């Protein structure tokens, strides 16, 4: 049985081929993302396996259904790129990987925070040029600072625990607070209180229609001057033009983003020989206090192994007519 695998990278093949042994599944890898340009090439396919920037809109899903596709297997946690109502309407099942090493993402958020604060990226380059000066590398202690965490699910929780270990005071906002975190020393607050009190704000909630651009000019104005903002969640949570204004007027002291609202045109590709037409990302990258990574927070051995095993497990279940664990099934 064939599975069409979109946005395939060499490392995807390594992990999926490693775990797809002794099965009837033949994986057909496509480097391109899934969209209207490729959809007519799909034939005799049981499932499509997709990633964060494949766009599963209603028209795309309608064509998939007409071609007999039975399953959309997301090899990621977020599913804002899939029209679930359309999938339901056309009788296509949708599964995802709800959790794969949340620590991978949490640790990357911490890496971004430490890099921005202690400027290790600049120090690395400086010392290689035999410049041993410290001027311009001044940071601040994380110990004793207030960290505001928005979204305390699997990743947010892992992030909270690391920050508590640093001796930070951790405040959090979630539409469903978690008792165990409160017992562990995290204080839940209203969102506005978090904005007002936090020295560092880290986003760990999913992107939904309700929280699109939750970080915007109005919410930035409620934050402490010089706030450090970290987003490893989804680009659409942040209004990038408002953030640029915030950086220019020093309201935002530093910004670390692993996700960007227009990332599908840029990320996961080597564009070093190209002219980048996106002026917004170019402006962002021109700030000395902005760190952009290209959606790599999940990118560890452990996470890729789990992603491959869980995704393949779900595909095998659906192929055999059995139901995978409820947590992986979206539709
Ligand atoms: P999760 O489902 O375990 O936790 C999400 C939490 O956010 C839940 O506690 C939920 O109640 C809360 N939440 C939902 N809407 C909210 C809102 N409007 N305001 C505040 N809290 C809200 O998800 P998990 O695994 O922790 O992942 C979080 C997000 O991280 C994913 O949705 C995805 O966008 C992103 N992610 C990024 C990766 C990367 O490589 N950069 C990799 C994996 C996930």
Token digits of residue 39: 């959809």
Ligand 1 atom closest to the Cα of residue 155 is: 26
Q: Which residues contact 98 (CB under 8 A, 6 or more apart)?
A: 77, 154, 327, 328
Per DSSP, the three-state class of 134 is coil
The pLDDT tens digits of the residues spanning 207-219 come to 999 999 999 999 9
Distance CA 141, CA 114 (A): 10
User: Is 263 one of the annotated active-site residues of the chain?
Assistant: yes
Instruction: For residues 151 and 159, give the distance between their C-alpha atoms in angstroms, rounded to a whole number.
Output: 10
Question: What DSSP string runs through 58-82?
Answer: HHHHHHHHHTT--EEEESSS--TTB
Q: What is the predicted pLDDT for the residue at 94? A: 98
Q: What length does the chain have?
A: 331
Decide whether any atom of ligand 1 lies within 6 Å of the 240 Cβ.
Answer: no
Q: Whose CA is nearest to atom 42 of ligand 1?
A: 298
Single pTM value for the model:
0.93
Give one DSSP letter per residue of 150-189, joined into a string: E--SHHHHHHHHHHHHTT-EEEEE-SS--HHHHHTT-EE-
Taking 90 as the threshold, does the pLDDT of residue 78 lie above it?
A: no
Residue pLDDT, tens place only, 183-203: 999 999 999 999 999 999 999
Look at ligand 1, atom 30, and give the residue with the nearest C-alpha.
233
- Cβ–ligand 1 distance for 173 under 6 Å, the answer yes
pLDDT digits (tens, 9 = 90+) for 83-130: 999 999 999 999 999 989 999 999 999 999 999 999 999 999 999 999
Angle at 38 between CA 270 and CA 266, to 5 degrees: 25
The token pair that represents 219 in the structure block: 């919410």
What Rg value do the Cα atoms of the chain yield, rounded? 21
Under a CB-based contact definition with an 8 Å cutoff, are residues 294 and 266 in contact? yes
For residues 47-56, give the mean pLDDT: 95
Q: Is 31 a catalytic residue?
A: no
Q: What per-residue confidence (pLDDT) applies to 149?
A: 98
Mean pLDDT of 223-230: 98
Q: Which domains does the chain have, with CATH numbers?
A: 2-100+301-328 (3.40.50.720), 102-292 (3.40.50.720)
Backbone φ, ψ for residue 3 (5° rounding): -125, 125
For 256, list phi and psi in degrees, rounded to 5.
Answer: -120, 120
In the reported structure, the alpha carbon of residue 20 is separated from the centroid of ligand 1 by a whole-number distance in angstroms of 28
* b/e map 244-255, b = 16+ CB within 10 Å: bebbeeebbbbb
The mean of the pLDDT values for the chain is: 97
Cβ of 116: how many Cβ atoms within 10 Å?
23
Mutate to test the pocket of ligand 1, among 112, 155, 326 (most ligand atoms within 8 A of CB): 155
Confidence of residue 174 (pLDDT cuts 50, 70, 90): very high
Q: What is the pLDDT of residues 129-173, one digit of tens each?
A: 999 999 999 999 999 999 999 999 999 999 999 999 999 999 999
Q: What is the mean pLDDT of residues 223-243?
A: 98
pLDDT of residue 98: 92
**From 264, 295, 306, 317, active-site residue:** 295
Q: Which two tokens stand for residue 215?
A: 């970080």
Please report, rounded to a whole number, the percentage of residues in the chain having pLDDT higher than 70. Answer: 100
């Amino acid at each position: 049985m064939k599975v069409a695998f979109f946005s395939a990278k060499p490392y995807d093949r390594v992990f999926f081929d490693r775990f797809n042994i002794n099965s009837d599944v033949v994986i057909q890898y496509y480097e391109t993302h899934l969209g209207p340009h490729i959809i007519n090439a799909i034939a005799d396919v049981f499932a499509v396996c997709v990633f964060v920037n494949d766009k599963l809109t209603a028209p795309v899903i309608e064509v998939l259904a007409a071609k007999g596709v039975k399953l959309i297997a997301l090899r990621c946690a977020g599913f804002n790129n899939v029209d679930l109502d359309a999938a339901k309407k056309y009788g296509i099942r949708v599964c995802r990987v709800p959790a794969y090493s949340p620590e991978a993402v949490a640790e990357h958020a911490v890496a971004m925070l430490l890099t921005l604060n202690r400027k290790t990226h600049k120090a690395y380059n400086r010392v290689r040029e035999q410049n041993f000066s410290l001027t311009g590398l001044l940071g601040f202690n994380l110990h004793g600072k207030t960290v505001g965490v928005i979204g305390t699910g699997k990743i947010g929780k892992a992030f909270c625990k690391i920050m508590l270990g640093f001796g930070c005071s951790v405040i959090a906002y979630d539409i469903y607070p978690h008792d165990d975190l409160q017992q562990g020393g995290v204080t839940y607050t209203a969102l506005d209180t978090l904005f007002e009190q936090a020295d560092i704000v880290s986003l760990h909630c999913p992107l939904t229609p309700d929280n699109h651009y939750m970080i915007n000019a109005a919410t930035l104005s409620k934050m402490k001057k010089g706030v450090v903002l970290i987003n490893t969640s989804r680009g659409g949570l942040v209004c990038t033009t408002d953030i640029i204004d915030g950086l220019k007027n020093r309201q935002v002291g530093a910004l670390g983003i692993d996700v960007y609202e227009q990332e599908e045109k840029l990320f996961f590709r080597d564009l070093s020989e190209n002219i980048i037409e996106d002026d917004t990302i170019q402006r962002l990258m021109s700030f000395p206090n902005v760190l952009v990574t290209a959606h790599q927070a999940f990118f560890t051995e452990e996470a890729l192994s789990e992603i491959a095993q869980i995704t393949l497990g779900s595909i095998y279940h659906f192929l055999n007519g059995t139901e995978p664990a409820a947590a992986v099934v979206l539709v």
